[in-house]
């Protein structure tokens, strides 16, 4: 069955450092991979989408990489701020396959 | 910025009763979705809807669930005979265009089954 893992349930980092979150998957052939942010009691908010033929995507302080050989995506937040504290979800999307979210990583950026 | 709105924000229902959760997607979006998130667990896909019919559904979306777009703006999820395990946050989402696009989520309806 399809499985998505995100490196850790929780990650604490110091303000100003780069946060790196990992998403690994098995038994899935994604055409797209998306990253979302979810704050407590709120719906997920879209951040970045990367296609299977793209290696890297950037948006402001965010960077996503996608390695279909390793079946892995890395999500980086540079110069992290306390306001970046949230749960980050990766999501896979493939033709003929349901959209699937990972369990999320709860990021805490400490001042 | 346009947003997806969901009502009610919290619904409390007796087990066995029917509930209807309502969503107003972003007006120019063509694809609509329902997800659920049981407390402390991951967001789970239920169903996607395009061109007035279900395009994909998960194993969770069994015969007790149905979706409808009764008019040009609303998108509803009906649960026919609720069970205790239906207690969860239910999120509606919409996306524009054809194929895979970023999804815009509402802030959910918290459904509590007693």
Of A46, A99, A102, the CB nearest to B45: A99
Beta-carbon contacts of B83 under 8 Å, excluding residues fewer than 6 positions away, are: B15, B64, B113
Better-scored residue on pLDDT, A80 or A27? A80
Q: In the predicted model, what is the mean pLDDT of residues B47-53?
A: 92
CB contact under 8 A, B106 and A41: no
More confident site: B97 or B60: B60
Asked if B100's CB is within 8 angstroms of A31's CB, the reply is: yes
**Integer Cα distance of A24 and A3 in angstroms:** 8
Q: Which residues contact B79 (CB under 8 A, 6 or more apart)?
A: B18, B19, B21, B64, B65, B86, B111
Query: In this predicted structure, what is the pLDDT of residue B2?
Result: 72
- pLDDT tens digits for A19-42? 999 999 988 888 889 999 999 999
Tell which B residues from 70 to 89 touch A, by Cβ distance under 8 Å: none
Distance (Å, whole) CA B42 – CA B24: 23
Q: How far is A34 from chain B (nearest CA, A)?
A: 8
Do the chains contact at B91 and A49, CB–CB below 8 Å? no
């Amino acid at each position: 069955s399809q499985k998505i893992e995100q490196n850790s349930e929780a990650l604490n980092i110091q303000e100003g450092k780069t946060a790196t979150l990992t998403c690994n998957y098995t038994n899935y052939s994604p055409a797209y991979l998306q990253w979302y942010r979810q704050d407590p009691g709120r719906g997920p908010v879209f951040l970045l989408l990367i296609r299977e033929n793209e290696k890297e995507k950037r948006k402001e302080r965010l960077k996503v990489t996608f390695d279909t050989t390793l079946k892995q995506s890395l999500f980086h937040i540079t110069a992290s701020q306390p306001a970046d504290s949230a749960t980050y979800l990766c999501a896979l999307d493939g033709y003929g396959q349901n959209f699937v979210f990972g369990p999320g990583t709860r990021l805490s950026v400490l001042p | 910025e346009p947003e997806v709105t969901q009502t009610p924000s919290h619904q409390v229902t007796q087990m066995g009763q029917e509930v209807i959760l309502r969503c107003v997607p972003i007006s120019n979006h063509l694809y609509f979705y329902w997800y659920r998130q049981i407390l402390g667990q991951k967001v789970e896909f239920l169903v996607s809807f395009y061109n007035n019919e279900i395009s994909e559904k998960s194993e969770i979306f069994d015969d007790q669930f149905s979706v409808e777009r009764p008019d040009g703006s609303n998108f509803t999820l009906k649960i026919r005979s609720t069970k205790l395990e239906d207690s969860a946050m239910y999120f509606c989402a919409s996306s524009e265009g054809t194929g895979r696009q970023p999804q815009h989520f509402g802030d959910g309806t918290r459904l509590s089954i007693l």
